[in-house]
Each structure stands twice: as structure tokens, then as C-alpha cells.
């Protein structure tokens, strides 16, 4: 790796970094939460809040490794801060002339993939980056990159809040202006946390609930059904021959198919129920207050809607639907829905099968 070119304002940047009073400080939950969310949304094995000091990068928070710092001239983040308003993406460091033959090593692992968004203070100085990385090559979807940028903005807000809090400690605590500033930043953080929580429950490609959110919703509805005796149905939907869509039309078209099916599901369940991307090309449907016969009829309409989507690829869906039995477990309910789905696929696909 060649010695990096430092930003023209590196002296001012380093002064801002030291003024932030983050270097060599204990771990803080706010930063730990951000790196944990970064790993979840990006699907990589490691993440960090990295601060680029004079001769080192120091990790304020980390996930997936225990290293506290590495040399600055062996880091990706030294390059990320050269362009403070852009996400830096290295899909395979071995193919990048800056790193080929001398890969950065973190936690004992040679790093091949890196994506980092510069962390900016209130004056726009790049103090470091919020980054995700892995020991194997990879990439980011557009939605994952957008989520990583949102997390970096959140980290910037946390840093700015710390600055405001210190200013409050140093100046007159009773100052109305400072109280208003603190309230404003607290409100901003609350909104950001609410947005991040929503991202953690949502599949970024389809906009539907993800598997975790579906599981939580199903647990609530099972408890409600046991208490009230009201009916409850669950369905699993699988797109037929989806691998061939990716193979013939490409993954971009495959993603478009998933996104369009997501829109159909959102339209069908906007008033009641929950639709979720359960994994890959499989979707889960929660229909509270719905009998098995009614759920089957709804799924038949849904199957027909999927089959008429105006897409370049021919799309069809197999659906298995079942109804909750009072007192049964979450696992057994989904197992019967899966058995009905298997029968639908076995008997020719593009159909709805139910199991009482």
C-alpha cells in the first residue's frame, strides 16, 4: 500500500478530532448500537466507528473484532476522509491498486471488502468513518448504502450532542438557549432512533416487514386469538422457479420482481394483516380474524394478481395456507403452512393449497 495523501485540511481536522474528546474514551452504548445496526443492514461480518488520528485509526466502537487501533497508513478510512461527502466502497481490495498485495488486517483477518461513510462534526470536519468490512469480497445494494449513510448521520448527531452537552457543562446551566438546543438535539435523536428502529423491522428491497417483525406480530396475534377465540390464519407464498428468473433475466430483474410482488402484497394487506418477506423469494402472510376458507379465497386473489404482473419475466406463486389451532405453538402453525406450500409446489405450482 502506498503512503496515503492526507487531506489538505488535516491539521484543522485533527484539531477538531481532539476537540471532540472521543479518542481513547470508554465504549458507549450509542456508538455500539450504531455498529450493531450497520452489521444488520449491510449483512457484513464486521463494523466500526473509526477515528483517524495522526498516525493511527482508533475504534470508538466495533462489532466482529477486538482490535482497538491499527496504523493509519494501513487503513481504508484514511482514504474515506479524503472525500467527506461520499461513501467509499471497495468491493475487492485485491483488485484495488491502493491495497493490492498489502491488504489491511483487522482482528487478525485480511480485509477484502470495505464500505465507509465519513463521520462529520458540526463544522463538516471528517473525524473518521462509520464502516462495514469483511474478509471476503462483496458489494452493497442501494438500500444498504442509504441505510449506512443514515447511520453515519446518526453518529454525527451523537458526536454533536456530546459537544453540546459539554458546552452546557462549561457554561451557565440555566441558559434558556442551551436548554432549547439540548431539547432540539434530543428530539432529533429520538426521530432518528425511530427511523432506525423502523429500518431494523423492514426489508429494504420490498418495503415489507422482515422475518423478525413478522415473528413478533404473529406472537401477538396468537396471544390475542387465545384470549378472544377469534380465528387466525397464516400463509406462506413462494415465487415459482425464481432461480431461473435470476439466471435468464439477471439479478436486477429478479430484484424488480421481488419489489413488484412486495407492492402487490402491500396493496392486499394495507387494511388488515401483515405481509413480510420471509427469506429469499418466500413471503409470509398473517391474517388475523380470518377463517381458513376466507384466507384461502384471499390467497387465490393474491395468486392471480401476482400472475398478471406486467414484468419481463413470467411470474407465478405457490401458496400454502392454514388456520391457527387454539393452544398450538408458533412453530407447529408455520410447519402446517409450510406443508400446504410444499403440496402446492409438488402438485404443479401456481396454486393455493390449504391444511386445516
Q: What is the largest CA-CA distance in the chain?
A: 76
Q: How far apart are CA 93 and CA 113, in angstroms?
A: 6
Termini Cα distance of the chain: 63
Which of 54, 97, 253, 281 is flagged as catalytic? 281
E strands, the chain, are 46-52, 56-63, 69-71, 88-90, 105-106, 109-110, 113-120, 126-134, 232-239, 274-279, 282-288, 317-323, 352-355
Q: Is 299 exposed, middle or buried (0-12, 13-18, 19+ CB in 10 A)?
A: buried
Q: What are residue 285's DSSP bridge partners?
A: 235, 275
Candidates 285, 236, 342, 333; CA nearest to 356 is 333
Residue 176 CB: number of other CB atoms within 10 A?
8
Catalytic residue status for 83: no
3-state secondary structure of 110: strand
Question: Residues with catalytic annotation?
Answer: 281
Amino acid at each position: 500500500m502506498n503512503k496515503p495523501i492526507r487531506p489538505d485540511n488535516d491539521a484543522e481536522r485533527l484539531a477538531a478530532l481532539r476537540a471532540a474528546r472521543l479518542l481513547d474514551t470508554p465504549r458507549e452504548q450509542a456508538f455500539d448500537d450504531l455498529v450493531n445496526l450497520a452489521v444488520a443492514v449491510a449483512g457484513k461480518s464486521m463494523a466500526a466507528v473509526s477515528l483517524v488520528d495522526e498516525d493511527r485509526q482508533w475504534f470508538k466502537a466495533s462489532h466482529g473484532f477486538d482490535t482497538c487501533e491499527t496504523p493509519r497508513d494501513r487503513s481504508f478510512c484514511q482514504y474515506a476522509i479524503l472525500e467527506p461527502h461520499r461513501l467509499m466502497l471497495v468491493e475487492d481490495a485485491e483488485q484495488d491498486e491502493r491495497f493490492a498485495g498489502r491488504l489491511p488486517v483487522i482482528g487478525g483477518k485480511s480485509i477484502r471488502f470495505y464500505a465507509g461513510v465519513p463521520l462529520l462534526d458540526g463544522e463538516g470536519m471528517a473525524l473518521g468513518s462509520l464502516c462495514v468490512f469483511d474478509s471476503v469480497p462483496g458489494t452493497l445494494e442501494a438500500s444498504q448504502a442509504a441505510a449506512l449513510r443514515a447511520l453515519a448521520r446518526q453518529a454525527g448527531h451523537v458526536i454533536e450532542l456530546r459537544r453540546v452537552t459539554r458546552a452546557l457543562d462549561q457554561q451557565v446551566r440555566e441558559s434558556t438557549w442551551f436548554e432549547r438546543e439540548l431539547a432540539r438535539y434530543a428530539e432529533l435523536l429520538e426521530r432518528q432512533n425511530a427511523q432506525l428502529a423502523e429500518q431494523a423491522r423492514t426489508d429494504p428491497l420490498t418495503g415489507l416487514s422482515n422475518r423478525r417483525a413478522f415473528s413478533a406480530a404473529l406472537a401477538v396475534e396468537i396471544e390475542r386469538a387465545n384470549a378472544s377465540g377469534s380465528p387466525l390464519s397464516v400463509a406462506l407464498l413462494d415465487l415459482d422457479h425464481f432461480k431461473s428468473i435470476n439466471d435468464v433475466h439477471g439479478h436486477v430483474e429478479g430484484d424488480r420482481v421481488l419489489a413488484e410482488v412486495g407492492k402487490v402484497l402491500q396493496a392486499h394487506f394495507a387494511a388488515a394483516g401483515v405481509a413480510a418477506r420471509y427469506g429469499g423469494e418466500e413471503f409470509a402472510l398473517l391474517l388475523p380474524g380470518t377463517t381458513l376458507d376466507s384466507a384461502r379465497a384471499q390467497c387465490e386473489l393474491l395468486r392471480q394478481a401476482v400472475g398478471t404482473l406486467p414484468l419481463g419475466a413470467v411470474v407465478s406463486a405457490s401458496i400454502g395456507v392454514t388456520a391457527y389451532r387454539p393452544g398450538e405453538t408458533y412453530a407447529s402453525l408455520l410447519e402446517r403452512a409450510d406443508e400446504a406450500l410444499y403440496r402446492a409446489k409438488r402438485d404443479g405450482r401456481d396454486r393455493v393449497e390449504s391444511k386445516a
